[in-house]
Amino acid sequence: MTDGAMQRYTLTLNKFLDHAAKWHPHAGVTGALDNGGVEQTDYLVLRRRARRISALLAGLGIGVGDRVATLAWNSRAHLEAWYGIMGMGAVCHTLNPRLTDSQSAAMARQSGARVLIVSADLAPLGQRIAALAPALTELFVIDGDGEPPALESALEDLDDTAVSWGDFDEHSASGLCFTSGTTGDPKGVLYDHRSIYLQTLRLLQADVLGLGFGDRVLAAVPMFHANAWGLPFATPAAGADLVFPGRHLDGASLARLIATENVTLAAGVPTVWLGLLEHLEAQGGELPSLKRILVGGAPMSATLMARLEQRLGVSVQTSWGMTELSPLGTITPAAEPRRDAASAGRVAVGMDLLLTDEQGTPLPEQRNVEGHLRVRGAAVVERYLGQRHGALDERGWFATGDLARIDAQGRLTITGRAKDLIKSGGGWINPAELEAIAGALPAVAQAAVIGRRDGRWGERPVLVIETKPAQTIEDREILDAMRDRVASWWLPDAVVRVDRMPLAGTGKIDKKRLRAEFGQA
């Protein structure tokens, strides 16, 4: 008997845009412009333009596996570049415009990118990076005019059928993103088509994003941050509309865009939603179309979550992930009966979690105990770019560096970062617990705890806070809030106040900088 067989259907990322263009041609992308207006493009037109970018790159000698860098804000043109690069089998290396010239150039040299696509207002930065990365010989501008030449004009006479899409192995690399480097040196994570395709299917599950063709999704998470959390793939796959804010993430701009474009789901880091909330509280206004806010990239305080839900009438979906996870690890379902800002949510099929001791031995009990969190799945890194040794342990698990608990219902709570733990007098202090207490105080906007060198104890905790505008709080009030909730020797030795908490390019608190400024004896 001859066995039956199924069709070969390679899991390449161009298929999401192909699907949207064929079956949802009236949906598409709305992008905010610097003049306050918007531009709208349906998926059918966007696909044609992306394929012309593929033709342009092919004419420059770019092929499967070659790196093409982007240095751009969230826009329609940037999305076209993504699909134009990935659709032909090249690798999209997203550079972070908030990094220094030398940092970005080092990443570009490591990736070997030969072409850079850059937003017009970032062109001077792009040229400085190219001067430090000799392989970058071709630069094109999007979202405006100037030098180098505009990508728009270079596409005018190109044939959108000249280059085939998806004609390569699904294990081919698709994207490259470097870790944020808030606690250590950035490392390159190279995604492949299959891993991101499977990650996208996870995102579309009902208890994850659960997108439908009636949704309008605001991607306030920068496109240079870990696949923009998968929205550029999941949204066209669902036939939903994608809304880009450009480079304007202030509260007033976001409120106007959400209201005028009837956004139903918005995704971004907590600082973005704090700015939106403060604008609405000061200026008034309603956002009736907005139903859900997806938060990631950094922990959200219980106070901010409650304020958002009460003021906007939305459901806040907290999540946890890493660049190494493509990036989603867990998420709180919108219908979760007991939603908690401290919870990172539940794991969806395609990802598995494991708690271990410090040496990596699995804990005998996996519920209601704290352990070192390890993960595995189809979209989890196996080896960092340029590193000979793999990133997995002997059992095939990736050590996230996080400390965590999993409750009886399978909800994950990140309790701290192993690297952030402060060893004082032979005992361990978990900064995350202190930060949660301080961050819940009404006058505190952001809080971070770092270790300061101490001649007697080795390290002692120091609390760094940013207060809300026009609000004050005494050191004594902060420490009193902690006294009955943590051991007395955990109490910070000092409270440092900053006008603005230093943030890394992805919106996370930059603890490396805090340690450099306040961590010395």
Query: What is the average per-residue pLDDT within 458-468?
Result: 91
Q: Tell me the CATH number of domain 14-406, given options 3.90.1150.10, 3.40.50.2300, 3.10.20.30, 3.40.50.12780.
A: 3.40.50.12780
Class of residue 408 by CB neighbours under 10 A (exposed 0-12, middle 13-18, buried 19+): exposed
pLDDT at 46: 98
Q: How far apart are the C-alpha atoms of 69 and 139, rounded to whole Å? A: 9
Name the band, by pLDDT with cuts 50, 70 and 90, for residue 521.
Answer: low
Q: Where are the alpha helices (DSSP H) in 133-269?
A: 151-154, 193-203, 231-238, 251-260
Residue 521 and residue 501: Cα distance in Å, rounded?
21
Instruction: Please name the residue that has the structure tokens 């939106």.
Output: 276
Average pLDDT, the chain: 92
Q: pLDDT for 274-315, tens place per residue?
A: 899 999 999 999 999 999 999 988 778 888 899 999 999 999
For the chain, helix (H) and strand (E) counts, in that order, are 14, 24
Judge whether 498 and 465 are in contact, CB under 8 Å: yes
Q: Which residues are catalytic?
A: 179, 324, 423, 428
Mean pLDDT throughout 240-263?
A: 96
Interval 113-125 mean pLDDT: 96
In this prediction, residue 303 carries a pLDDT of: 85
Residue 241, pLDDT above cutoff 80? yes
Q: Predicted confidence band at 181 (pLDDT cuts at 50, 70, 90)?
A: low
Query: Comparing 140-154, 161-175, 304-318, 384-398, which segment has the lowest mean pLDDT?
Result: 140-154
- Measured from the Cβ of residue 473, the count of other Cβ atoms closer than 10 Å reads 18
**Domain spans of the chain?**
14-406, 421-518
Alpha carbon dihedral 191, 195, 198, 203, in 10-degree steps, equals -30
Q: CA of 25: how far to CAs of 28, 41, 201, 239, 339, in Å?
A: 7, 10, 21, 8, 36
- Burial group, residue 470, by CB count within 10 angstroms (0-12, 13-18, 19+): exposed
Q: What percent of the chain has pLDDT over 70?
A: 98
Q: Are 115 and 136 in contact (CB under 8 A)?
A: yes
3-class SS of residue 328: strand
Question: How far is Cα 134 from Cα 397, in angstroms, rounded to an integer?
Answer: 37
CATH number of 421-518: 3.30.300.30
Gyration radius from the chain CA atoms: 23
Q: Give residue 401's region: left, alpha or beta (phi > 0; psi -120 to 50).
A: left
Question: Cβ–Cβ contacts within 10 Å for residue 19, how many?
Answer: 16
Residue 148 has a pLDDT of 85
Residue with tokens 């971004």: 268
Residue 266, amino acid: A
- Residue 103, classed as helix, strand or coil, is helix
Are the C-beta atoms of 492 and 463 separated by less than 8 Å? yes
Q: What is the mean pLDDT of residues 377-388?
A: 95
Which residue in this structure is represented by tokens 């979906």? 317
d(CA 175, CA 158): 24
Indicate the angle between helix axes 231-238 and 193-203, nearest 10 degrees.
60
Prior bond of 337 cis (ω within 30°)? no
Q: What is the mean pLDDT of residues 149-171?
A: 93
Q: Mean pLDDT throughout 445-462?
A: 86
Highest mean pLDDT among 175-189, 226-240, 299-313: 226-240
223 with 122: CB under 8 angstroms? no
Q: Which of 490, 16, 401 is nearest to 182 (CA)?
A: 401
> DSSP letter at 485?
T
Please compute the mean of the pLDDT values over residues 179-206 and round it to a whole number: 88
Closest listed residue to residue 298, CA positions, set 189, 231, 225, 368: 225
Cα–Cα distance for residue pair 216/243, rounded to 1 Å: 7
pLDDT tens figures, 412-440: 998 888 788 887 876 678 888 899 899 88
Q: Residue 489 has what pLDDT?
A: 85
Dihedral of CA 142/146/148/154: which sign?
positive
Enumerate long-range contacts of 272-279, CB under 8 Å, 24 or more apart.
272/220, 272/507, 273/300, 273/304, 273/308, 274/304, 274/445, 275/249, 275/250, 275/251, 276/251, 277/251, 277/304, 277/307, 277/308, 277/311, 277/312, 278/251, 278/469, 279/250, 279/251, 279/252, 279/254, 279/255
pLDDT at residue 39 is higher than 60: yes
Residue pair 384/187 in contact by the 8 Å Cβ criterion = yes
Tell me the CA end-to-end span of the chain in Å, nearest whole number.
77
Q: What is the pLDDT of residue 113?
A: 97
Helix axes 231-238, 14-23, angle to 10 degrees: 30
Q: What is the model's pLDDT at position 310?
A: 94
